[in-house]
Chain A
Amino acid sequence: MTTVTDSPGMVRTMAWMNYAFLLAMMAVIAGILTAAMTMQYGYGELPCPLCLLQRVALFGVCLGIIQSFRHGFSYQNTGVSLVFTIFLLIVSVRQTLLDIYPRPGHEYIGTEVFGIHMPVWSIVIAVCILTAYALKLTALGSNDHLSDVQPAQYPVLSKIAGLVGLYVVVIAVINTVSVFVQCGLNQCHTFNYQLLQ
């Protein structure tokens, strides 16, 4: 029986779609992290501890994608991204449930974006990532033909992915410095930057 994966041209097209999907996802996540950092540095909204863990989860999703562009697509890399997506979902759901009933010391903090607070957005983002992976698996199918094609066969895509990946690494380092200034080696709070007092 002949399948679409028997055609080399179709395999190349599907592999291109796979890498384009991964690049788009990494770019969107980089944009989300940049928006969060803009809210922090531009509007003085310090991230809470669970918000910082949600950033960690988003960086973890990006690591799986960076590995795919560095070493070729594999479901192990997809697994890394999915583990951190589930972590993002658990943390954001728990934070939403913590703040859903306002009481002293527990209420949504930060500016609403389109009427929705950040932890609720995190749930939406996590569900979108899971849905996107599910749709990709449905559309592109099995591993064999996708992992045979290395990203280096698409020079433009690889170059853009390299730049976006570098940007993700740079903002991760900036976040690390920022966390040190905000929390020092102690518990994190949203009152002020502990090292700038």
Chain B
Amino acid sequence: MMFAVFVVLSCALILGYMGRRALSLASMFICFVLAVWLFLWEIYSPEYGFRMPWIQVEHIPTPHNTDNGKV
């Protein structure tokens, strides 16, 4: 899949360099869609989904105010 992304990217750059603007932009759009799809596929975990629980911090309960704002 990564190879496909780079092939389309190279096509877009070569076409752009040769002055074929419409074809180049169309190729780059396809490359962008493939790259986004591959990115989402790479970061998806069957265990966590798209979440990142390892950076979650522990929730500290807020103490109740008891005396004029003093805890």
Name A residues whose Cβ lies closer than 8 Å to a Cβ of B.
49-50, 52-53, 56-57, 59-60, 62-63, 66-67, 70-71, 80, 83-84, 87, 90-91, 94, 97-98, 100-101, 103, 165-166, 168-169, 172-173, 175-176, 179-180, 183-185, 187-188
Contacts and interface: CB of A to CB of B under 8 A. Distances in A.
A80 B25 CA distance: 9
Nearest to A178: B6
Given A173-B10, A176-B3, A87 B54 contact: no
A38 B21 CA distance: 31
A63 B12 contact: yes
Contacts of B21: 67, 70-71
Given A101-B55, A103-B54, A70 B17 contact: yes
Contacts of A56: 5-6, 9, 31, 35
A184 B52 contact: no
A172 B9 contact: yes
B1 to A, nearest CB: 7
Contacts of B9: 56, 59-60, 172, 176
B28 A63 contact: yes
A127 B20 CA distance: 30
A168 B10 CA distance: 10
